[in-house]
Structure 1
Amino acid sequence: MKIISRLILSIFITLLSLNSLSAKQINDKVALNGIKEAKSVFLIDFTNVRKTAFYLNIIEGTHKGLVDQGVKPKMVLVFIGETVKYLSTKQDEAFEMENEEHLESIQNSIKRLANLGVRMEVCAVATKVFKIDNNTIPKEMDIIADGFISLIGWQTQDYKLVPIF
Structure 2
Amino acid sequence: MAETYEGLKRQGVEPEMVFTFRGPSLALISSDHTDVPLDQEQHYEAIAEQIKQLQAKPNVHMEACSVAARLLKVDPDTLLPGIDFVGNAFVSQIGYQSKGFAIIPIF
Q: Would you say same fold, with TM above 0.5?
A: yes
Query: After the TM superposition, which residues 35-114 of structure 1 pair with which residues of structure 2 at under 5 Å, given as runs?
Result: 59-92=1-34, 95-114=36-55
Whole-angstrom distance in 1 between the partners of 2:37 and 2:22: 21
Whole-angstrom distance in 2 between the partners of 1:87 and 1:61: 20
Specify the code of the residue in structure 2 equivalent to 1:105.
A
Query: After the TM superposition, which residues 124-139 of structure 1 pair with which residues of structure 2 at under 5 Å, given as runs?
Result: 124-139=66-81
Aligned to 2:64: 122
CA contact (8 A) 1:110 1:140 kept: no
Runs of 4+ in 1 over 3 A off after TM superposition: none
Whole-angstrom distance in 2 between the partners of 1:114 and 1:74: 12
Whole-angstrom distance in 2 between the partners of 1:128 and 1:60: 29
Specify the code of the residue in structure 1 equivalent to 2:43.
H
RMSD: 1.2
Question: % of aligned pairs identical?
Answer: 35
Query: After the TM superposition, which residues 8-19 of structure 1 pair with which residues of structure 2 at under 5 Å, given as runs?
Result: none
Indicate the SS of the match to 2:36. Answer: helix
> How many positions carry a matched residue from both structures?
106
CA contact (8 A) 1:125 1:145 kept: yes
Inter-CA distance 98–130: structure 2 relative to 1 (3 Å threshold): farther
Could you give the per-residue CA deviations for residues 20-59 of structure 1, whole angstroms, max 9, x where no partner exists? xxxxxxxxxxxxxxxxxxxxxxxxxxxxxxxxxxxxxxx1
CA contact (8 A) 2:5 2:15 kept: yes
CA contact (8 A) 1:77 1:120 kept: yes
Could you give the per-residue CA deviations for residues 90-125 of structure 1, whole angstroms, max 9, x where no partner exists? 211x51513122101111011111101310000001
CA contact (8 A) 1:96 1:103 kept: no
5+ long unaligned stretches in structure 2: none
Does residue 153 in structure 1 map to residue 95 in structure 2? yes
Indicate the SS of the match to 2:28. Answer: helix
